[in-house]
Amino acid sequence: MTTQTLTLLIVDDDAPLRGRLTRVMERRGFEVFDAEGVQDARTIIESQSLTHAVLDMKLEDGNGLDVVKIIKDKQPDCRIIMLTGFGNIATAVAAVKAGAVDYLPKPADPEAIAAALLQQGSDIPPPPEDPMSADRVRWEHIQRVYEQCGRNVSETARRLKLHRRTLQRILAKHAPRP
């Protein structure tokens, strides 16, 4: 009996997340290819047979929907999960219409991503055994927006609709436990 090799493409411009996700997926038996953007992903898609993909919506050189189209044109059976730090209904609908089978908000736990990739059929995956606390999810989100705003406290506070001093107090604290 032959078992299909599980191959996974991870496309995200966040190198630490890509590395962490790569390690988790390799432990789960995937052969992992990773790319920082659309052009790197295109090269891998053209040269590899992929069974799964995890794509970030917003990339430095384009967006994840571009990559979904490239994958679906070349490998229509590939199971695609879309990640985004900018979740809203319109982008979720666009991702699913383009061919993604699931849409997860960042910060996404690598175990939740693995469960979504490996789920069979259309059943909802079971809840994670050890989910991040609400405080940790909030802290991770604030940190991500802070980094995306070039570590500018005033701009971050404006985008998060927080008072600048409140944000400064949050940023001065240590990260809550996961």
Q: Calculate ∠ Cα 44-49-54, nearest 5°.
A: 65
Strands of 52-178, DSSP E: 52-56, 58-59, 62-63, 79-84, 102-105
- The confidence score (pLDDT) of residue 161 equals 94
**How many whole angstroms separate alpha carbon 142 and alpha carbon 109?**
16
Residue 33's alpha-carbon distances to 49, 67, 89, 162, in angstroms, are 11, 14, 29, 39
For 134-172, give the CATH class: mainly alpha
Domain layout of the chain by residue ranges = 7-118, 134-172
Per the DSSP assignment, residues forming a β-bridge with 82 are: 55, 103
Tokens representing 66 are 């571009």
- String of DSSP letters for 30-47: -EEEEESSHHHHHHHHHH
List per-residue pLDDT tens for the chain, 178 residues long: 345 688 999 998 888 888 888 888 898 888 999 888 889 999 999 998 899 999 988 888 888 888 989 998 888 888 898 887 766 666 777 777 788 887 887 777 777 788 788 776 655 556 666 666 778 778 878 887 888 888 899 999 999 999 999 999 988 887 676 5
The confidence score (pLDDT) of residue 122 equals 57
CATH topology identical between 7-118 and 134-172: no
CATH homologous superfamily for the domain 7-118: Response regulator (3.40.50.2300)
Q: How many CB atoms lie within 10 A of CB 82?
A: 27
Q: What is the pLDDT of residue 164?
A: 94
| pLDDT number for residue 90 | 67
Asked whether the whole model's pTM tops 0.85, one would answer no
